[in-house]
Amino acid sequence: MAITGARKRVARGKTPAAPARYSAPALEKGLDILEFLAEHADGGTLADIASGIARTKGEIFRMLAALEARRYIARDTADERYRITDKLFRLGLRQPKYRALVETASPFMDAFADATRYPCHLAIPTGDQIAVIARAESNELVGIAVKVGYRQSLLDTGSGMCLLAFMSGEDSARAFGLLRVARRKIPDALKNELARIAKSGAVIEPSRIMEGVWDISCPVLHDGKAIAALTVPYVKLKNNTTSRETIAKRLADTAARISVALGKEA
């Protein structure tokens, strides 16, 4: 029997030609919209989005309606601007590794908040940013709380600086590559600052986002490398005289307990 076509090429030791790339225009259109809105915090009107992704308004109108109906985006009736929701983020948190992290950390975070009367939150690295995936509230009537889903540059948060100081070499190289694209210039003093954080074991510094607030952040480790940062946005309260240094020690102990618990589950 003669061997022909692709079978003949394989028999001669040659790799068959790769199949043509499949095209899914509707899916690509929807992804273009989501990526555009993800990069624009203020969202965009129908015209803004169409211009931004090089489509006509007629091409994307029904796709916007479908994404809105599925709650991936939301439209403000006051200004007719579409904005991306946190649905994609929450879907991502359903991945086993993130679900296990939150489930393991939450009891320790709640215990910390009850004992210190300070809220805390857990952040993971994602690209050149941090993303908050869990938080624990304190019993105080006032304080600073960070919402789940909050994102910010690694370089603009205590959580981000903590992650950069303790993450693996491979993860660090990837993060800095993305930061150079986003920022173009990395501060010359950053290397020394990260070395200082790694030596001290924690971040204790004025917030780069809010005046009067201090970021206190400690790493949650797996195999000796940071996979998350546990952070307290610290403000001095008249009815809670716990010092920054005491909060940092208790936070470090809580982060260490979470790390140990994660190791036991691995």
> What does the pLDDT look like over 173-191, one tens digit per residue?
888 888 888 776 787 889 8
Residue spans per domain, the chain: 25-85, 90-265
pLDDT of residue 8: 38
Mean of the per-residue pLDDT values of the chain: 85
pLDDT of residue 15: 46
pLDDT over 70 percentage in the chain: 86
Is 4 a residue whose pLDDT tops 50?
no
Of residues 113 and 89, more confidence is placed in 113
Any idea which of 40-54, 119-133, 177-191, 201-215 has the lowest mean pLDDT?
Answer: 177-191
We find that the CATH architecture of domain 90-265 is 2-Layer Sandwich (3.30)
Relative to beta strand 225-234, strand 81-84 is unpaired
> What does the pLDDT look like over 205-234, one tens digit per residue?
999 999 999 999 999 998 889 999 999 999
Whether residue 192 contacts residue 243, with contact meaning beta carbons closer than 8 Å, is answered with no
The closest alpha carbon to 135, from 260, 57, 52, 228, belongs to 228
- CATH code of the region 25-85: 1.10.10.10
Distance CA 72, CA 54 (A): 21
pLDDT over 90 percentage in the chain: 45
pLDDT of residue 24: 84
The closest alpha carbon to 34, from 52, 21, 22, belongs to 52
Mean pLDDT of 75-79: 86
Domains 25-85 and 90-265 fall in the same CATH topology: no
pLDDT band at 72 (very low <50, low <70, confident <90, very high): confident
The encoded tokens of residue 251 equal: 């936070």
